[in-house]
């Protein structure tokens, strides 16, 4: 009896201890990579209760986090490079979640020209997404550095004006640049200086190559580049500081902070970028690449209601470029200073109306000011005085008011959807070098598109845009887009679009003068009218951790009365219309991923252009072609939790036209060249500290031969006689980024 009692007591005691152990265990969440099965450390886990109260956890090095839910809660799990996962969880529940990596960017969500935010592969447009990982791998400080090695995108450098771009044979005047859907103003020489579009507060960049005139109107014949800024999704408070140095004399620093309290979200960021100037040959006071200093200050406030979202975004940009003159005996010099200011304010309202209707409204007011001051400087006493010549001093101000409203119906299970919108743009210009000192132009438009899905794999989207322009008679702009998925892994896209571009106020009325340029506006310019055709075939196949993709694009652009620069004499240029301009060609890209260790892409493009010169006895009627090759490879070094990336670009010989001494139009070219960049990245301290280092322009390309000097549309400076400027040469860089989160 005693023995039986002892056994029962022992069993009860052991059961009690086991029960205590089980009840004392904390319920856990485990995060795994859906492809590799590896744990995901330092991911963000947000718990939201029924009353909207939020709690937060971060996974440890083994991908584990505590389940801190006190009632059944919604859960959102996010980490850079993965799709955000939404689910629910109960108190005391242990659960494993698999996060899907964004391979090929096919699962990235895009917003540009969409009825509602949706995945890239579902968009009727072919959208290229350059995400945060790619920005970091390229160590890109501004938009020009990010796009420089993209296929069929050419970056033109000007040592004083900065950088501009062309896509598929069409220059930057035909590309619409947006920041969170708001047009960027302040085009010099018709182009936006991409070096002024900093990436320190950018989440990703969406690029649509091809005509978008129905949706975005003027300046969208070649495509749209939409910069999407960062927003705090769920973190109560986060802050980040970054520094970047480059051996050519670049010193950048930026810091940002953001937070969330219930439905209120705020963020602020600031940056200082400095470049000390550079010349391949020491030129003492007047380097080829002019020194520049930039300050930026951005902020946002969001009220995030379950049924709607309101966002206010102010932004300030200030840039100073100084051009010091050569010494005049005995000890004097003329120094010029160019100051650019941008002040941007925008309000963005979006709401879901009912089950499948979406309303989006953007209102923005932008100010662009460019000031030039020239001083007569005594190099002995260092005193300086403004020069008396009125042409040496100038302030030009551009103001832009934009209002855009869209109502969309988008139901995935219905075969008929639509989008209706209005787009109002008013621009004014003021300054001594503006004809009559004040000018303005207005563009009022309404657009409509229908999305028709006769079957699940086939989509038709016709669209039309009605335009009233205060200075030009605008035609009816229309388009037809087609998307067909003949097989599970393949997609065919085709489109036809008619486009219209009215000359800008700068092209019409501005006398633009600096140390290397003298550009006269032309008030007699005609508006451009275009026809564009695009065909795209894509194949993407996923097999376990291996992914393969192939894209082939064909394009044709025909523009009547295209506006280009023509050399009058020396450094003096003016805008003219060319009767007819055609660009056509193809490009193909191959992708391969062995996730997560290896990523490789390679692409080839061939683009032909043909000009028919207005008013010349000789018509240039033959196509001239150029070739591009672009490739990148990234290898993850698992043992050291780091990665190494290489970016290669071959830019083929580029044709150009120029007038000879007798005024005859001749064909010249810019020689071909190769560039190669390398970046190494590694994280420390649970990835809070990121270290980046590398080499840019390994082949040390500075300039290439250019026949023709002042070609149509190319008043570039700093390349010297017979030279087209490319870059500084080989440089070395390093960057540090440190982030803190408070939960």
Q: Give DSSP secondary structure letters for 449-463.
A: EEEEEEETTEEEEEE
Mean pLDDT calculated for residue range 406-418: 95
What is the three-state SS of 353-370? ECCCEEEEEEEEEEEEEE
pLDDT of residue 44: 84
Mean pLDDT calculated for residue range 266-287: 87
pLDDT interval class at 347 (50, 70, 90): very high
Rounded Cα–Cα distance for residues 471 and 652 (Å) = 39
Mean pLDDT calculated for residue range 443-470: 96
Beta pairing partners, 470: none
Kind and range of the H or E run holding 10: helix 2-24
pLDDT interval class at 616 (50, 70, 90): very low
User: In the chain, how long is the greatest CA-to-CA distance?
Assistant: 125
Residue 4 tokens read as 């039986």
pLDDT interval class at 448 (50, 70, 90): very high
pLDDT of residue 515: 56
Residue 130 tokens read as 């350059």
For the ranges 41-50, 127-136, 620-629, the maximum mean pLDDT occurs at 127-136
Of 190 and 219, more confident? 219
Residue 422 tokens read as 């209005």
Would the pLDDT of 8 be above 70? no
pLDDT interval class at 662 (50, 70, 90): low
Q: What is the pLDDT of residues 125-162, one digit of tens each?
A: 999 999 988 999 999 999 999 999 999 999 888 766 67
Mean pLDDT calculated for residue range 50-68: 84
Q: What is the pLDDT of residues 63-95, one digit of tens each?
A: 899 988 888 888 988 887 788 888 889 898 889
Rounded Cα–Cα distance for residues 18 and 24 (Å) = 10
Whether omega before 596 lies within 30 degrees of 0, making that bond cis, reads: yes
Q: What is the pLDDT of residues 381-411, one digit of tens each?
A: 889 899 988 778 889 999 999 999 999 999 9
pLDDT of residue 719: 40
Mean pLDDT calculated for residue range 594-614: 88
Q: What is the pLDDT of residues 672-730, one digit of tens each?
A: 999 999 999 999 988 889 999 999 999 999 988 887 654 444 444 444 446 788 888 99
Task: Indicate the range of 44-48, 51-55, 443-447 predicted with least confidence.
Answer: 51-55
> Are β-strands 665-670 and 654-659 bridged in parallel, bridged antiparallel, or unpaired?
antiparallel
Sheet with 162-167, strands from edge to edge, namely 153-158, 162-167, 170-171
pLDDT of residue 571: 66
CA angle 98, 101, 103 (to 5 degrees): 150
Domain ranges (residues) in the chain:
26-101, 225-742
Mean pLDDT calculated for residue range 564-588: 84
Whose tokens are 């803190």? That residue is 740
Mean pLDDT calculated for residue range 355-370: 96
Rounded Cα–Cα distance for residues 33 and 83 (Å) = 11
Cβ–Cβ < 8 Å for 509, 471: no
pLDDT interval class at 520 (50, 70, 90): confident
pLDDT interval class at 731 (50, 70, 90): very high
Residue 379 tokens read as 């190099």
Cβ–Cβ < 8 Å for 459, 445: no
CATH class as words, domain 225-742 = mainly beta
C-alpha torsion angle, residues 196, 183, 121, 642 (rounded to 10): 20
Q: How far is CA 87 from the centre of its chain?
A: 32
Task: Give the rounded percent of residues in the chain with a pLDDT score beyond 70.
Answer: 89
CATH class as words, domain 26-101 = mainly beta
Whether omega before 375 lies within 30 degrees of 0, making that bond cis, reads: no
Kind and range of the H or E run holding 118: strand 118-119
Mean pLDDT calculated for residue range 199-213: 92
**Residue 186: which residues within 8 A CB-CB, separation 6 or more?**
192, 193, 196, 340, 342, 368, 370, 398
Would the pLDDT of 668 be above 90? no
DSSP assignment letter at 574: E
Beta pairing partners, 426: 401, 442
- Going through 278-393 in order, the beta strands assigned E by DSSP cover 292-304, 308-324, 332-353, 357-378, 384-386
**What does pLDDT average to over the chain?**
87
DSSP string, 628-683: EEEEEEEEEEGGGTEEEEEEEEEE--EEEEEE-TTS-EEEEEE--EEEEEEEEEEE
Of 450 and 186, more confident? 450
pLDDT of residue 9: 52
pLDDT interval class at 35 (50, 70, 90): confident
Cβ–Cβ < 8 Å for 357, 116: no
Provide the whole-model pTM: 0.89
- Is 488 buried (19+), middle (13-18) or exposed (0-12) by CB count in 10 A? exposed
pLDDT of residue 160: 63
Cβ–Cβ < 8 Å for 501, 527: yes
């Amino acid at each position: 009896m005693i023995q039986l009692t002892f056994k029962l007591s022992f069993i009860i005691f052991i059961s009690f201890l086991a029960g205590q152990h089980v009840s004392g265990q904390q319920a856990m969440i485990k995060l795994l990579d859906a492809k590799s099965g590896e744990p995901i450390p330092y991911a963000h886990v947000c718990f939201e209760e029924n009353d909207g109260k939020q709690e937060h956890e971060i996974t440890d090095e083994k991908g584990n986090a505590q389940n801190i839910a006190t009632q059944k809660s919604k859960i959102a799990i996010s980490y850079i490079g993965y799709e955000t996962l939404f689910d629910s969880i109960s108190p005391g529940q242990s659960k494993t979640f698999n996060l899907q990596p964004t391979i090929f960017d096919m699962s990235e969500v895009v917003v540009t020209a969409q009825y509602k935010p949706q995945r890239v592969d579902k968009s009727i447009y072919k959208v290229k997404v350059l995400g945060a990982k790619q920005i970091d791998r390229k160590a890109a400080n501004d938009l020009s550095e990010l796009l420089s090695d993209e296929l069929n995108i050419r970056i033109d450098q000007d040592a004083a004006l900065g950088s501009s771009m062309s896509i598929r044979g069409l220059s930057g005047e035909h590309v619409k640049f947006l920041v969170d859907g708001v047009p960027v103003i302040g085009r010099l020489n018709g182009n936006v200086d991409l070096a002024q579009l900093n990436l320190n507060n950018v989440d990703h960049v969406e690029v649509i190559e091809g005509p978008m005139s129905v949706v975005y109107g003027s300046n969208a014949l070649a495509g749209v580049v939409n910069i999407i800024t960062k927003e705090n999704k769920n973190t109560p408070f986060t802050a980040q500081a970054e520094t970047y140095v480059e051996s050519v004399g670049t010193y950048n620093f930026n810091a940002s902070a953001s937070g969330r309290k219930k439905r209120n979200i705020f963020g602020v960021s600031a940056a200082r970028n400095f470049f000390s100037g550079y010349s391949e040959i020491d030129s003492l006071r007047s380097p080829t690449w002019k020194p520049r200093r930039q300050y930026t200050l951005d902020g946002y406030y969001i009220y995030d209601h379950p049924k709607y979202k309101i966002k206010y975004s102010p932004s300030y940009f200030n840039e100073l470029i100084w051009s010091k003159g050569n010494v005049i005996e005995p000890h004097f010099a003329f120094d010029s200073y160019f100051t650019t200011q941008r002040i941007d304010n925008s309000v963005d309202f979006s709401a879901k109306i009912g089950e499948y209707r979406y309303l989006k409204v953007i209102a923005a007011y932008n100010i662009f000011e460019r000031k030039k001051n020239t001083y007569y400087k005594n190099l002995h006493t260092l005193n300086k005085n403004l020069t008396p010549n009125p042409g040496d001093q100038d302030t030009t101000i551009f103001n832009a008011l934009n209002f855009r409203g869209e109502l969309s119906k988008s139901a995935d299970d219905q075969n008929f959807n639509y989008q209706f919108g209005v787009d109002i743009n008013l621009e004014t210009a003021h300054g001594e070098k503006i004809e009559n000192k004040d000018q303005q132009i207005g563009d009022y438009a309404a657009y409509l598109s229908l999305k028709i899905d006769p079957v699940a794999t086939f989509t038709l989207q016709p669209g039309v845009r009605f335009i009233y322009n205060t200075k030009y008679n605008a035609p009816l702009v229309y388009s037809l887009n087609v998307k067909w998925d003949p097989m599970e892994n393949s997609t065919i896209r085709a489109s036809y679009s008619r486009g219209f571009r009215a000359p800008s106020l700068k092209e019409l009325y501005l006398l633009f003068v600096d140390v290397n340029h003298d550009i006269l506006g032309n008030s007699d310019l005609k508006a451009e009218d275009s026809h564009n055709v695009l065909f795209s075939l894509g194949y993407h196949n996923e097999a376990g951790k291996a992914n393969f993709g192939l894209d082939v694009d064909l394009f044709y652009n025909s523009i009547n009365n295209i506006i280009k620069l023509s050399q009058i004499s020396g450094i003096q240029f003016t805008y003219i219309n060319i009767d007819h301009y055609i660009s056509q060609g193809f490009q193909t890209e191959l992708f391969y991923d062995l996730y997560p260790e290896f990523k490789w892409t390679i692409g080839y493009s061939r683009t032909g252009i043909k000009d028919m010169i207005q008013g010349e006895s000789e018509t240039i009627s033959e196509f001239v072609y150029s070739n591009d090759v672009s490739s990148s490879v990234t290898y993850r070094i698992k043992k050291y939790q780091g990665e190494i990336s290489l970016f290669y670009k071959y830019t083929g010989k580029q044709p150009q036209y120029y007038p000879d001494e007798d005024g005859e139009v001749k064909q010249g070219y810019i020689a071909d060249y190769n560039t190669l960049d390398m970046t190494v990245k590694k994280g420390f301290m649970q990835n809070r500290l990121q270290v980046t280092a590398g080499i840019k322009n390994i082949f040390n390309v500075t300039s290439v031969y250019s026949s023709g000097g002042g070609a149509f549309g190319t008043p570039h400076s700093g390349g010297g006689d017979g030279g087209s400027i490319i870059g500084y040469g080989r440089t070395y860089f390093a960057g540090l980024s440190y982030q803190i989160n408070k939960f």
